[in-house]
């Protein structure tokens, strides 16, 4: 839910600002599918009411009035789809807010369209922002999304080094776990090694694929993600060991070993939260509620599949049992 149009606060000290609803990539597993790209027959997208300028002004006003927020992520969409002059002005204004200490720019264009980050006007703008951030004690980082080692091409390596030479403190990778792409530990380890060795990109997070239409073939069960996390722990240095996380609906990002309860037979994991955002302050049950994430049916044992088939028959066509 937005606290100002385009501004989401799902965690106590962090906010996500959306400047653009477009993206140069349009992944099938898009984690911003509620907004990014045009509506399709299967998925309707939310639309902005305000134009970019007034929307950014409202977001800045809200952030100035929210001293608990210290960390702003610019995502979307993709910051590469925002004109560099506008992006520079907005980020510079963020840096003028005294309580903001971390600014992250999200861009998969570094992987899908690395030429964007080799343009002089982009690198010059990043350099001016990084210099201002350094002087004001604000970290400016770039977050990107690589899902397989083969995506770390020579152009990606060149662009990543140019961005870091411009003064951006770190480039971190937030990938998505995809069956058949990176669902085996050797694939993830190779991706982590190539991104660090060839491009200086730090492995940061891998998200379990969201429960969105047409993604069941990519999704992993929670137990598979937990096993992958364990396989990575002893093979990478601590500072470059990515955390495998699940974006639990209505809750937010949780480490895969944080589930409060897990019914392996039915593939339902239950999660709890230990913080409130301003929008939840009147919701007395938020800290006691259990939030569910569902494994893909094809990963369940036969007994679990039978249970879901029977539940589907009981509840009509939704497939969700009446008691869930």
Q: Which of 30, 222, 245, 246 binds ligand SF4 (CB under 6 A)?
A: 30
Give the three-state DSSP class for 241. coil
| Shortest spacing between CB 176 and ligand SF4, in angstroms | 7
Using CA atoms, how far apart are residues 88 and 42, in angstroms rounded to an integer? Answer: 36
Q: Which of 2, 26, 270, 307 binds ligand SF4 (CB under 6 A)?
A: 26
Least CB distance from residue 109 to ligand SF4, whole Å? 8
CB of 76 to ligand SF4, least distance (A): 6
CA–CA gap between residue 266 and residue 295 (Å, rounded): 8
Q: How far is residue 208's CA from residue 151's CA, in Å, rounded to a whole number?
A: 19
- CB burial of residue 196 (10 Å; 0-12, 13-18, 19+): middle
59 binds ligand SF4 (CB under 6 A): no
Size of the site for ligand SF4 (CB under 6 A): 13
Q: Among 71-79, 157-165, 182-190, 271-279, which window interacts with ligand SF4 (CB under 6 A)? A: 71-79
Q: State the SS3 of 174-213.
A: EEEECCCCCCCHHHHHHHHHHHHHHHCEEEEEEEECCCCC
| Residues in 278-317 at the binding interface with ligand SF4, rule: CB under 6 A | none
Binding to ligand SF4 by residue 224, rule CB under 6 A? no
The interface with ligand SF4 within residues 106-135 (CB under 6 A) comprises 108
CB atoms under 10 Å from CB of 178, counted, come to 22
Q: Does 21 contact ligand SF4 by CB under 6 A?
A: no
Instruction: Give CA separation, 164 vs 123, 156, 157, 160, in Å.
Output: 10, 12, 11, 6
Taking the least distance from each CB to ligand SF4, the nearer of 34 and 134 is 34
E strands, 55-129, are 71-76, 102-106
Least distance (Å) between residue 24 CB and ligand SF4:
8
Nearer to ligand SF4, 23 or 225 (CB): 23
Residue among 76 and 242 whose Cβ is closer to ligand SF4: 76
Q: Does 179 bind ligand SF4 (CB under 6 A)?
A: no
What Å distances lie between residue 301 and 167, 197, 263, 304, 311, CA to CA? 51, 40, 12, 5, 15
Contact between 191 and ligand SF4 by CB under 6 A: the answer reads no
- Comparison of 77 and 149: residue with beta carbon closer to ligand SF4: 77
- 27 in contact with ligand SF4 (CB under 6 A): yes
Among positions 5, 11, 13, 31, the unique one binding ligand SF4 when judged by CB under 6 A:
31
The dihedral through the CA atoms of 182, 148, 205, 229 has a sign that is positive
Structure tokens at 292: 């569910």
Q: What are phi and psi of 234, to 5 degrees?
A: -95, 0
Say whether residue 172 binds ligand SF4 (CB under 6 A).
Answer: no
Q: And the tokens for 147?
A: 């899902």
- 66 binds ligand SF4, rule: CB under 6 A: no
Count CB neighbours of 189 within 10 A: 17
Whole-number minimum distance, CB 78 to ligand SF4, in Å?
5
Half-sphere exposure of 268 (CA within 13 A, CB side): 12
Asked if 23 interacts with ligand SF4 (CB under 6 A), we say: yes
76/133 with CB nearer ligand SF4: 76
Among 10, 32, 55, 104, binds ligand SF4 (CB under 6 A): 32
Asked whether position 16 contacts ligand SF4 by CB under 6 A, the answer is no
Report the interface residues with ligand SF4, using CB under 6 A: 23, 25-27, 30-32, 36, 76-78, 108, 145
């Amino acid at each position: 839910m937005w606290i100002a149009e385009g501004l989401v606060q799902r965690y106590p000290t962090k906010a996500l600002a959306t400047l653009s609803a477009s993206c140069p990539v349009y992944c099938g597993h898009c984690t911003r599918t509620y907004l990014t790209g045009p509506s399709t027959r299967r998925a309707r997208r939310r639309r902005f009411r305000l134009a970019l300028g007034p929307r950014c002004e409202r977001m800045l006003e809200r952030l100035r009035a929210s001293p608990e927020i210290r960390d702003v992520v610019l995502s979307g969409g993709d910051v590469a789809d925002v004109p560099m002059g506008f992006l520079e002005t907005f980020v510079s204004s963020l840096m003028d807010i005294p309580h903001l200490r971390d600014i992250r720019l999200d861009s998969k264009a570094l992987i899908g369209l690395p030429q964007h980050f080799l343009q002089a006007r982009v690198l010059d703008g990043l350099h001016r922002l990084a210099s201002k951030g350094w002087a004001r004690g604000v970290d400016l980082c770039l977050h990107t999304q690589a899902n397989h080692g083969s995506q770390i091409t020579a152009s990606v390596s060149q662009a990543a080094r140019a961005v870091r030479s411009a003064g951006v403190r770190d480039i971190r990778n937030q990938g998505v776990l995809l069956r058949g792409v990176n669902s085996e530990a050797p694939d993830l380890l190779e991706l982590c090694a190539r991104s660090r060795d060839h491009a200086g990109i730090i492995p940061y997070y891998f998200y379990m694929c969201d429960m969105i239409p047409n993604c069941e073939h990519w999704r992993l069960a929670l137990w598979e993600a937990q096993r992958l996390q364990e396989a990575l722990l002893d093979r990478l240095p601590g500072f470059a060991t990515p955390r495998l996380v699940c974006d639990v609906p209505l809750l937010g990002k949780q480490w895969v070993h944080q589930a409060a309860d897990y019914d392996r037979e039915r593939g339902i994991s239950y999660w709890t939260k230990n913080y409130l955002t301003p929008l939840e302050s009147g919701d007395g049950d938020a800290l006691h509620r259990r939030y569910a994430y569902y494994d893909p049916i094809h990963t369940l044992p036969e007994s679990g599949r039978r249970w879901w088939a029977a539940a589907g028959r009981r509840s009509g066509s939704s497939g969700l049992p009446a008691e869930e």
